Amino acid sequence: MSIQRLEAQLGFIIEIDRLKQIVRQTYLMDASRRENDAEHSWHIAMMALVLREHADEEVDVLRVIEMLLVHDLVEIDAGDTLLYSAERNSSERLAAEQCAAERIFGLLPAEQARQFRDLWEEFEAKQSPEARFAGSLDRLQPLLHNFNTGGLAWRQHGISVAQVLERNACIGSGSKSLWNYARWLIDESLRLGYLTES
């Protein structure tokens, strides 16, 4: 192993420490503060370990965890956006994420850069069973946070039940049982006043 390879890998590790500085819209479950992207990534990686039996298809859980650990690294450059904002899927946002992926993964040795970029692209495309399950967990986790904080972030942004249903229905593409549970959380959130009708 060359010293240049090790230095490139450590440079990447130092750079991704910045993920801890990217503050999300989601609050911690005790509502004390908003979580950061690194906390989010760790939490959903743990969810993959715990909830893997709920995947609709057989999945390689290590690949799911790998995707979950790299999927938000682009937010070091591109920042976090509210799931329910119009900006979320804009061409400008998607271009910023592509540039971020090129820069951040490009810090690694070439074959690792390609491996990490492939994981990120697989997660974004949601075509494989692993990517669909990873996507389900990525959407379920903020629902759990919102429910356990009395809808704090939803109420701050005036989010309606229709918006939550529309943006989170993809949970069902990776796990019908998790989507059924998510639907119950959403119904309960509406009943308890954490979400508005419109």
pLDDT along the chain (198 residues), means of 10: 93 98 96 97 98 98 98 95 82 92 98 98 97 98 97 95 96 98 97 92
pLDDT attached to residue 42: 98
- Cα 29 to Cα 35: distance, rounded to the nearest angstrom: 9
What does the block give as tokens for 38?
Answer: 């690194």
Nearest to 175 by CA among 139, 143, 125, 147: 139
Mean pLDDT (the chain, rounded): 96
pLDDT attached to residue 146: 97
The residue ranges of every structural domain in the chain are 3-191
C-beta atoms surrounding 94 within 10 Å: 13
Q: How far apart are the first and last CA of the chain?
A: 59
Length of the chain: 198
Write down the pTM of the prediction.
0.95
pLDDT attached to residue 90: 82
- Cα 48 to Cα 31: distance, rounded to the nearest angstrom: 23
Q: From residue 149, how far is each of 6, 43, 142, 182 by CA, in Å?
A: 43, 17, 10, 15
User: 3-191 sits in which CATH class?
Assistant: mainly alpha
pLDDT attached to residue 89: 75
Dihedral of the alpha carbons of 104, 92, 71, 131, in degrees to the nearest 10: -140
**CB under 8 A, 24+ apart: contacts of 20-24:** 22/72, 22/75, 22/76, 22/79, 22/80, 23/80, 24/80
Compute the C-alpha angle 123/129/132, nearest 5°: 50
- Cα 142 to Cα 161: distance, rounded to the nearest angstrom: 14
